[in-house]
A and B are shown apart, each in its own frame.
Chain A
Amino acid sequence: MNLLILLIIPFLTAIGILAVNGLKQVRTVAFIGSMIQLCLSFYLLNQYHIAKELGDASLMLFEQNYPWFPSMGVYFHIGVDGISISMIILTALVVVAGVLVSYGMEQLHKEFFFLLILLSLGAYGFFISLDLFTLFFFLEVAVIPKFLLIGIWGSGPKERSAMKLALMLMGGSAMIFIGLIGVYFYSNEVGARTFDMLALAKNGISKEAQLFFFPFAFAGFGAFTALFPFHTWVPDGHSSAPTAASMFLAGISMKLGGYGCLRVATFLMPQAAEYYAPVIILLATIAIIYGAFATMMQTDLKYINAYSSISHCGFVLLGIGMLTKVSITGAVMQMVSHGLMTALFFAAIGMMYSRTHTRLVAQLGGLLKVMPFISSIFIIAGLCSLGLPGFSGFVSEMTIFVGAWQNPNIWYRLATILSCASIVVTAVYILRAAGSSVMGPIKDNHFLKLEDALWNEKLAAVVLLSGIVVIGIAPFLLTDLLSPGTDIIMEQLLK
């Protein structure tokens, strides 16, 4: 299968959006483009399984390598493995849902959908890159559209949030770049220097260089994934963003960081990862617990979800930090699960906000009677967030806990126990939010006239929910997909 088609389709969709006029046409083009991309990603999954069954044991499948700046060792090298495919499917699902939820976007609709598709292009390219320069290129493609989406179509203090998000993410990118340059110059290669990830992994990097550059790379990617203390762009950024942008930001953009932490920082610099593991675990545990407690005190639904994302992405980092095969598998599962779940949550909140025009929990109430579908989706997303079995959150969190418990070190055990304790705090804040906003008596009589979800919003919710439920009920599908990929990473760590 030619992976370039995963990049060409969004590109063509973007061109198509620019070519047509009118909200209906623009959104239809966007929807069709993202649906084609979703079908393609499932086709890719199918091809991957077929290839694996035929006995293809190579590290990365469907590789393509084109020279870009050969004198500097930069090639356009793309390929996938199980981890990449799961992230691509996640991106496709969230983009389809995001496009559907934005069907009512009247203001500057052409630019809005164009930027959304451009963002997705950046994400797809990031996940299939096997060359560091290509990876960084696609990462940067995604930053400016985020800034514009929040700054123009957002709500609340949007300009300030957009600026803060853009500056902090660019700071993260700068740190990533330092890490990449370090890897480039200090690799133990034979012959010309290269940015190619597989070659760098095979040759290895000198230990002193690893110890110096790993913090930069990890912290840089960590800034994308809300590593404490680089997480403060999350609350304002997510809350001021329009619904589809929030879904994309929380669902996919934060996973760019997690994927980078795993593929770039840990895969290329394994000895440094082991050395810094206690620090990573400490910061991840702080993010989990402190994020959960900070969420309890929030009064705005979007802030609740944003801080909750900090807490859940802490699980991803905990899984990566524990450096066992099970915990890393759990980390990737949590990336997929949280991406779908938080997109669903933001979609539900966005639907509620567009009708009630308030996000404050204190002003909402009794919506279950008025908008049963939206309220049920809200409750389901909340239940997934608190790790209810039957949804994907449970399997990913349990995998991380079991994997983390495999480390007999008493401090690691303590970190795992504290992270487990967060399930209680999560239950508290989710039920407080749901209980006050969706259940309870109706606080404002204007709410009685509100209407329930439209067909596009229902479809968006169903798309995301099916992903969550499939993984929740049949987790073996995901773990089998991820297993060869995590094996590769563990091999590096054991060298």
Chain B
Amino acid sequence: MSSITTILLIPGLPLLAFLMLGIFGNSSSWLKNLAGIIATTFMAISCLLSVQTAINYFVTADLAEKGFAPIILFKYNWLSFGSGVSIDMGALLDPISAMMLVVVTFISLMVHVFSLGYMKGEERFATYYAFLGLFTFSMLGLILSSNIFQIYIFWELVGVSSFLLIGYYFAKPSAVAAAKKAFIVTRFADLGFLIGILTLGFYGESFDFQTLIQRFTDHQSPQFLAISAASFMGITALSWGLMLVFMGGAGKSAMFPLHIWLPDAMEGPTPVSALIHAATMVVAGVYLVARLFPIFAISDQAALDVVAFIGILSALFAAIIAFTQTDIKRVLAFSTMSQIGFMMFALGVSNYGGENGAGFSASLFHLFTHAFFKSLLFLGAGAIIHMVHSNNMDDMGGLRKHMPITHISFLIACLAISGIPPFAGFFSKEAILHAAHASSPITYYLALFTSMLTAFYMFRLYFNIFWSSEAKPMHNAHGEGTWSMKIPLIILGLLSIVVGFIPFSHYVSSDGKSLETHLDLMFSILPVSLAAAGILFAAYLYKNKNEKPAQIAQNLGGIFSLVKQKFYIDEIYLFITHKIIFNLIGRPAAWIDKHIVDGFYTLTATTTEEFSSTIKGWQSGNLQSYALYFLASVLGLAILIIYALI
């Protein structure tokens, strides 16, 4: 099979599933019953093809010595704007896209399998799989994009798939509201993205990624000189372009302050949260920065500092809030935000080329391992919610007896995310902390602190669910869930142990040339011991049910409630949108249109009416008035003629 066919099939199969199940899924009954099987089969084929492509690229393409160069598999001129500027539909295969292909298709396959059991019995079963297919197609298209406008197209499609999936239970007003919020917040971020694209495209005279990178990293090229010369309010057009594009990425990746949609997005079905809001869509922002990384690192260090700052700020912010949440999905959502903050921040402290680019590899390594253990955590949460029928931690406890498989896999994932060796998260976190240490001490200490917090709140979650109080007798007889729900948990659990051992920077690095990975055991002692300390403290507080957490919460008083309310950021947004934008801009606009602009026309109409009724009065029917007008006119004419005015 030629590489073009393969690369077209990989996103094409999920798209086919979407079209088939979306159009005919609810009307044809045999299609409805088989919907899950069909979608899962297509996804499995797509996953196999992705793995094959990745292996071809990394292993057999013989590029290891020269460095993994990007390959353009095809390019089609889709919408031309003249003089070489156009939106081309193309497929770009390079280390990060090959890696992401495997991640996205694999996690999507796990979610497809899990949903066979989780979503069984849903009325709109086929539609669910159709939307999953649409999402996977869009995400794969996003990864393979070779043109910045093309990535924007798939960016929007991913946003709409997310809207459809979060709003899947559309009869629930909270789900509809969450879906709207997600779409609108990311749309706002996409506005920045669009303006950034326009700026970069105008000065770079192209929308193609490779062309833009080549032009903007060559400090002698006419395009670079033009974009550095143009400035607005003291900031160069290049910085504006990069910052605005980052704004788009920050929105999709739920970075502060565009993060408000992520906790609410948990209204969607839990497998959806595992796929979209843990492993794939939310890392799109990191992927975008990684795509444009050469420009960031070589030509605009200040922009990269902003990326790092936002990254570490979001990581810390989310970690603090995760302490106080009692809804298990919300804890996981904030945990995701925190981990993505790590990824962003690792990109931000990295430089380009060779050893300096270690942060780049570390960030993408963490993206890779995080996909596995975070989706495992969410799927586990799904199994738990399926059993307990509640999202709240307070309704759970002692579940280790009832759900052994879930328990073990959840524990593995928690250990991985806390960075305990030999699980996957340890290796990726080490790499990030190493890169931070090399760049600046203060970022290193902040990152270290955040890691410790991560271990603490994750194990708070773990102990509250599986230990804490003794298990209540379970009324529901369906137990831990069907085999379709258990298999993904087992597979992901095993992978969370194993994938850390892949020598990632050998394959993925900032300039494509392999980096040697080395493990600095002395360096790792401090982070691991801090993480262990966090775990022990969580065990002390939460392993058995006691009054200490409540007492601490009470002692912290106002601070605790401030954090629990997520720093009131949601309320601030609501205030700005409802009170300010709606009331000060929307309502006046509608009022002005109806009363002033339209009022002007109504005024002309009423004036005409008034004038016409005045003149109407001259037709009085009164003989003598008519005669008077007649006489007056005759006299007037006579005077005019006699005195030769006419």
Which A residues lie at the B interface, using CB under 8 A? Answer: 164, 167-168, 228-229, 231-232, 235, 290, 293-294, 296-298, 307, 325-326, 366, 368-369, 372, 383, 386-390, 394-395, 398-399, 401-403, 405-406, 410, 416-417, 420-421, 423-424, 427-428, 431-432, 435, 438-442, 475-476, 479
Contact = CB atoms under 8 A, between A and B. Distances in A.
B157 A326 contact: no
A402 B590 contact: no
A391 to B, nearest CB: 10
Contacts of A479: 79-80
B280 to A, nearest CB: 18
Given A293-B589, A390-B157, A431-B184, A406 B202 contact: yes
Contacts of A395: 79
B176 A440 contact: yes
Given A229-B597, A402-B198, A297 B187 contact: no
A394 B191 contact: no
A427 B582 contact: no
B153 interface: yes
A232 B597 contact: yes
Contact of B160 (A388, A420, A432): A388
Interface string B446-474: 00000000000000000000000000000
A435 B180 contact: yes
B296 interface: no
A354 B157 CA distance: 32
A101 B81 CA distance: 37
A368 B582 contact: no
A388 B186 CA distance: 13
B170 A440 contact: yes
A427 B157 CA distance: 14
Contacts of A441: 171-173
Leading 7 A-B pairs by shortest Cβ distance:
A389-B153, A297-B590, A293-B589, A439-B170, A232-B598, A294-B590, A294-B589
Contact of A290 (B81, B180, B589): B589
A140 to B, nearest CB: 21
Contacts of A366: 170-171
Nearest to B154: A389
Interface of B: 26, 77-82, 85, 87, 149, 152-154, 156-157, 160, 163, 167, 170-173, 176-177, 179-180, 183-184, 187-188, 190-191, 194-195, 198-199, 201-202, 232, 582, 585-587, 589-590, 592-593, 597-598, 600-601, 605
Most chain B CB within 10 A, of A231, A369, A435, A441, is at A435
A428 B573 CA distance: 14
B584 to A, nearest CB: 10
A325 B82 contact: yes
Contacts of A421: 191
Contacts of A388: 156-157, 160
A401 B191 CA distance: 12
Given A232-B597, A476-B77, A479-B79, A427 B173 contact: no
Given A297-B589, A424-B184, 20 more contacts: A168-B601, A232-B597, A296-B586, A325-B82, A326-B81, A326-B82, A366-B171, A383-B160, A388-B157, A389-B157, A395-B79, A405-B198, A405-B199, A420-B194, A424-B191, A431-B163, A432-B180, A439-B170, A440-B176, A441-B171
B15 to A, nearest CB: 11
A424 B171 CA distance: 25
A439 B176 contact: yes
Nearest to B596: A229
B394 to A, nearest CB: 28
Given A388-B157, A420-B191, A403 B81 contact: yes
Given A423-B191, A427-B183, A428-B184, A435 B177 contact: yes
B176 A232 contact: no
B512 to A, nearest CB: 30
B157 A402 contact: no
A338 B414 CA distance: 51
Contacts of B589: 290, 293-294, 297
Contacts of A424: 184, 187-188, 191
Contacts of A294: 586, 589-590, 593
Nearest to A432: B180
Given A290-B593, A401-B194, A440 B156 contact: no
Most chain B CB within 10 A, of A394, A403, A410, A440, is at A440
A232 B593 contact: yes
22 contacts: A294-B590, A297-B587, A297-B590, A366-B171, A369-B171, A383-B160, A387-B156, A388-B160, A390-B153, A394-B156, A398-B87, A402-B85, A406-B202, A420-B194, A427-B184, A431-B163, A431-B183, A435-B177, A435-B179, A441-B172, A442-B171, A476-B78
Most chain A CB within 10 A, of B79, B188, B592, is at B79
Nearest to A325: B82
Contacts of A432: 180
A394 B149 CA distance: 11
A307 B592 CA distance: 13
A294 B582 CA distance: 10
A402 B78 contact: no
A431 B191 CA distance: 17
A326 B83 CA distance: 11
Contacts of B81: 326, 399, 402-403
B414 to A, nearest CB: 36
A399 B87 CA distance: 10
B148 to A, nearest CB: 12
Contacts of A372: 26
Nearest to A333: B79
Contacts of B156: 387-389, 394
Contacts of A290: 589, 592-593
Nearest to B171: A441
Contacts of A428: 184
A445 B246 CA distance: 47
A417 B191 CA distance: 9
A440 B171 contact: yes
A297 B592 CA distance: 12
B78 A368 contact: no
Contacts of B176: 435, 439-440
Contacts of A403: 81
A366 B173 CA distance: 10
Contact of A405 (B77, B87, B202): B202
B597 A298 contact: no
A440 B201 contact: no
Contacts of B85: 402
Contacts of B78: 475-476
A438 B600 CA distance: 36
A215 B177 CA distance: 46
Nearest to A478: B79
A405 B585 CA distance: 26
B483 to A, nearest CB: 32
A297 B157 contact: no
Most chain B CB within 10 A, of A293, A390, A395, A476, is at A293
A439 B601 contact: no
Nearest to A387: B156
Most chain A CB within 10 A, of B149, B191, B587, is at B191
Nearest to A417: B195
Contacts of B590: 293-294, 296-298
Contacts of B179: 431, 435
Contact of A423 (B77, B171, B194): B194
A434 B156 CA distance: 18
Contact of A439 (B167, B585, B597): B167
A475 B153 CA distance: 13
B395 to A, nearest CB: 25
Nearest to A330: B81
A383 B177 CA distance: 17
Given A294-B590, A294-B593, A420 B195 contact: yes
A442 B171 CA distance: 8
A357 to B, nearest CB: 22
A388 B172 CA distance: 25
